[in-house]
Homo-oligomer: A and B are copies of this chain.
């Protein structure tokens, strides 16, 4: 199977699993009692409206390093994707990034209203933890608790929420000096890096791997998280809306410092290549099994070409 085929296959599996999870959630509300229709639609829009399912790919392929079949990592992959989709639904809100378009579609608040987007995000964040608490996720209670603790750290103040807050505080602080390169690297490590790193580490947790392997997956996750961000900034600086599926050059238009604006395009490309190399290097001890993750690093770095 080529990398594109693998990614596509995992996307299909994840979509099916997510749809089943959301159905289970809604069925609990059935019977005579009225169910919140608009909320259900907003949740489906937030989760099933496309998306590469790159984080589920990382969970499943990281778990495969330790011999786990796709099925054994799929619920964890779906939980991680729920958290990703929740963060998009909230970050797109008018009070935050005020984005009307995502993946070529109206964002959740644009399609269903702000309250539905807020509650859909809340529901997805909650559903992620519920999913991880279930025996179907992994037979070992200790593994499930490690996944929950790790996902909570990646999502919370020391991760995504903290990163988004730093971003908004910097953007809205009148008269404050623009962020330094170090500050932007820190912010992105929290905002987007933390969940990507956890996606990779989750594979090692599911595989009950030793400390060394777990640390290797964390380092791989850090590297591709950074590569992802540099590639995203390059796309934003160079792409056009039709290719990217969302508004581009928004950061530049807002006069916002990015990795690319601070480093320059050429230096950013060189850094991207360096990070790609280090992501690949950390996987060498895993041998042939690491093929898909190595290709993933190349895929991320190549997004802007």
Whether B95 contacts A161 by the Cβ 8 Å rule is: no
Nearest 4 Cβ contacts at the A-B interface: A130-B152, A36-B165, A95-B114, A39-B165
Residue in A28, A38, A116, A118 whose Cβ sees the most chain B Cβ within 10 Å: A118
Q: Which residues of B contact A130 (CB under 8 A)?
A: 148-149, 152-153, 156
A: interface residue count bin: 35 or more
Residue in A122, A123, A169 whose Cβ sees the most chain B Cβ within 10 Å: A122
Whether B148 contacts A127 by the Cβ 8 Å rule is: no
Q: Which residues of B contact A121 (CB under 8 A)?
A: 122
CB distance from A39 to the nearest CB of B (A): 4
CB distance from A126 to the nearest CB of B (A): 4
Q: Which residues of B contact A261 (CB under 8 A)?
A: none
Seed contacts A29-B158, A122-B125, A141-B141; 12 additional CB < 8 Å A-B pairs:
A25-B156, A39-B157, A39-B161, A39-B165, A43-B157, A115-B165, A122-B155, A125-B126, A126-B161, A129-B129, A129-B152, A148-B148
Q: Which of B35, B119, B164 contacts A161 (CB 8 A)?
A: B119
The dominant DSSP class at the A interface is: helix
Whether B116 contacts A90 by the Cβ 8 Å rule is: no
A37 lies within 8 A of chain B by Cβ = yes
Q: Restricting to A29-74, which residues have a CB under 8 Å from any CB of B?
A: 29, 33-40, 43
Q: Which residues of B contact A156 (CB under 8 A)?
A: 25, 123, 126-127, 130
Q: Restricting to A97-155, which residues have a CB under 8 Å from any CB of B?
A: 113-116, 118-119, 121-123, 125-127, 129-130, 132-134, 141-142, 144-145, 148-149, 152-153, 155
Q: What CA separation (Å) do A97 and B86 show in the bound complex?
A: 21
Q: Which residues of B contact A119 (CB under 8 A)?
A: 90, 161, 164-165, 168
